Amino acid sequence: MKFNLKTAGLTASLLLASSLAVAEPDAYRIDDSHSFANWSIRHVASKTSGTFSDIKGKILIDANDLSKSSVEAKINMLSVNSSHAKRDEHIKKPEYLDVEKFAEMTFVSKKIEAKSNTEGVMVGVLTMHGVSKEMTFPFKVLGFGTDPWGGYRAGFEARTSVKASDFGFAWPLVKDAPVGDDIEITLLIEGVKLPPENPIAKKY
């Protein structure tokens, strides 16, 4: 009887350890060649749009419980692209993004509220132009799948809007400013799954 109790205890411990291992979130490296931070903003009587294509970071995702997931990302402001080279150079100047002084935008999640297994709301701190503010991003998990190179990927989409003036940008404060204050943002993120022992999973 003593042997059976020990065996049962050992079995229970192994099952618990196994369940905890399964519950660990999977780590994904943001693939900047397939990820985009798209934006649009009013210009005079219409809108101008573009993207930031240089995005790096990591995503920890628990597909069974999104509330246990987290995100850390940084965007290279020099990668701004509005499909017009002369305009892009203007956008980078101190009058607008001031990329020489503020070369990166960062986001670090604080909590995630899961609405389902594929949708939720992400709350975190966005730092841009030297100003940090708490932001909310509704997001969707677009799916998971094997890529053509033998890797495994996950896709995400998030949308939000920010006021440039909240981050210390002066252009919207000018009377009859040709460029608006409200910036609409759509994040299209693709991540490559990392093995647990990969050190990049801890530091991107």
Domain residue spans of the chain: 25-201
Model confidence pLDDT, tens digit, residues 85-129: 999 999 999 999 999 999 999 999 999 999 999 999 999 999 999
Residue 1 vs residue 54, higher pLDDT: 54
pLDDT for the residue 203? 56
Model-level pTM?
0.81
Cα–Cα separations (whole angstroms), residue 145 to 42, 115, 136, 150: 37, 22, 27, 10
Residue 16 vs residue 140, higher pLDDT: 140
pLDDT for the residue 195? 87
- Over residues 148-152, the mean pLDDT reads 93
- Which CATH number is associated with domain 25-201? 2.40.128.110
Q: How confident is the model at residue 24 (pLDDT cuts 50, 70, 90)?
A: confident
Does position 12 have pLDDT exceeding 60, yes or no? Answer: no
Percent of the chain at pLDDT exceeding 70: 85
CB 174 within 8 A of CB 35: no
CA 89, CA 97: separation in Å to the nearest integer?
10
Cα–Cα separations (whole angstroms), residue 142 to 84, 113, 163: 30, 17, 27
pLDDT for the residue 19? 45
Q: In 176-192, which positions are buried (b, 16+ CB within 10 angstroms) versus exposed (e)?
A: eeebbbebbbbbbbbbb
Does position 8 have pLDDT exceeding 50, yes or no? Answer: no
